[in-house]
Amino acid sequence: PICSTGFSNVTKFLSNRIVLSLIFFSGLPAAIAVVGFMNYFIPVHLSRIGVSQSTIGQVQMIYGICLIYIGPLISRYVDASQDKKRYVFLGLVLGSCSFLLFVVLDGVVAAAVAVFILGLSSSFVLASQIVYALKLRVTQELGEGKAIGLFRSTSRIGQMLGPVIFATLFAATNVDQGITYFGLFYLLTAFIFILLTQK
């Protein structure tokens, strides 16, 4: 039957090693990082240290500016490359650096640099992740539209988890320790991703 065939394709897609790696060690961590950091950590942390609302807004704008002006340039290099996976990995490593830099920097400077690096990270991940997934055989069998829909769904889960995770880090540890732990976790996901996606 057609329904059972469609369900088997979805099951095959979601059980594929590379797809699972993209979901759990790329898409979810990236969504958690962006939403949790941009929508929760930045305004709460900067407000705590006495930064004005206008300055907080300007810091957050750096992310959007990076995506608008630098993102298209990065997309060109990604599109021309045959190895999309390395750009996913590079984006994840950059994302971890945006949190680990709080070890050496603090205040508004640390937040502004972190937002900029996170913007670069998202530019690499967004440009390469879906394109990499679309080239997989299981994606072609399922259908590109359905595959993208499933990826978007998992990304929304990460967006919901982001503020919760960062709020927990605030409550469980001090700010510097919490953000460092998350940076290390993010870096770990990058290496797990590159290991699991080896042929």
Angle, vertex CA 49, rays to CA 46 and CA 50, nearest 5 = 90
- DSSP letter at 102 equals G
Alpha helices in the chain (DSSP H): 2-14, 17-22, 28-36, 42-48, 53-69, 71-80, 84-100, 107-134, 137-142, 144-172, 175-196
Residues 6+ apart with CB under 8 A from 108: 46, 51, 55, 59
Q: Is the pLDDT of residue 142 over 70?
A: yes
Token pair in block for residue 48: 């705590």
Token pair in block for residue 9: 């394709």
Q: Quickly state the pLDDT bin for 6 (edges 50, 70, 90).
A: low
User: Using one digit for the tens of pLDDT, what is the confidence trace for 169-193?
Assistant: 877 777 778 888 999 999 999 999 9
User: Using one digit for the tens of pLDDT, what is the confidence trace for 143-175?
Assistant: 888 888 888 888 888 889 988 888 888 777 777
User: Using one digit for the tens of pLDDT, what is the confidence trace for 66-79?
Assistant: 999 999 999 988 88
Whether the model clears a pTM of 0.85, i.e. scores above it, the answer is yes
